[in-house]
Homo-oligomer: A and B are copies of this chain.
Amino acid sequence: MLNKNVVNFIGCDAEYDESSVVLFGVPFDSTTSFRPGARFGPSAARNESYGIETYSPYLDEELTDFKVFDSGDLELPIGDSRMVLDMIEEREKAILDSSKLPFMVGGEHLVTLGAIRAVAAKYPDVNIIHFDAHADLRQDYLGVELSHACVMRRASELLGKGRIYQFGIRSGDKSEFVRDDDDKKRIVTTRFGFEGLDNTVKELAGKPVYFSLDLDILDPSILPGTGTPEAGGVGFIVLLRAIETIFAGNAEIVGMDVCELAPNLDPSGVSTAVTCKLIREMLLGYLSKNK
């Protein structure tokens, strides 16, 4: 008897019960303001992951030595952000309820709000480490509050002061950069790179942390396939080192995501290959720390 066609991210073929990490994809981009296509991110990452290896020469760790479950993509009611966020929250909650780490692959960055809601329900004192080119701190975008350009503003409303730490930020409107002192304490923004990341990680030792990676933090030379590419980004190895910094610390990672891969915008496929390698490194960073 032949088997059904199960498609996982490479090396993530464990059973649910035995797994400590659960992947899920959110093919959503309805609020993307400039160039849509992030909806194709999760399936592209899964399908193209077979072009990378399960072994990391950076960490000297092998993904098949661990147990990860890939639960596929949510089937979304495209066009209704509220319903979509509810579904994300529900999936994130289900994984948290099983005491596993939810690892969401977006989709545009608004999807992070759904995950944060579930995480904050379980860990009310959760912090966010946010890697991104954009601050995503607008109050609204042409009247829309549930927009990828506002996601960290919405998250900060949920979490309260001093809980969001942004790195790599290099684009936004003036209001997102020139903020009053109160707001700067509410959300701590580091421009251009990762200065101070090691200190942040130390401060967060023992605390629950959600790690959100917007791929456009990378320079568009290496990741052109994203909705709003911003010149002047960080390099791949620099990002890898920053990710290692997070897992090398003692913060308790309780959820993570990778967002804003729009694979079709990069016909060379490199953006997807880069994303796959980052997902592998994030998985191995977490798993080797928590084994």
Contact = CB atoms under 8 A, between A and B. Distances in A.
A64 to B, nearest CB: 9
Interface residues of A, number: 92
A143 B270 contact: no
A269 to B, nearest CB: 7
Contact of A5 (B7, B39, B83, B268): B7
Interface in A92-137: 94-95, 98, 110
Contacts of A54: 173-174
Interface string A43-76: 1001100111111011010100000011111011
Main secondary structure of the interface of A (DSSP, over half): loop
Nearest to A267: B267
- How many of these chains are in the complex? 6
A183 B236 CA distance: 31
Interface of A: 1-8, 16-17, 22, 24, 29-37, 39, 43, 46-47, 50-55, 57-58, 60, 62, 69-73, 75-81, 83, 91, 94-95, 98, 110, 141-144, 146-147, 169-174, 177-178, 191-192, 219-222, 224-225, 228-232, 236-237, 240, 265-270, 273-274, 277
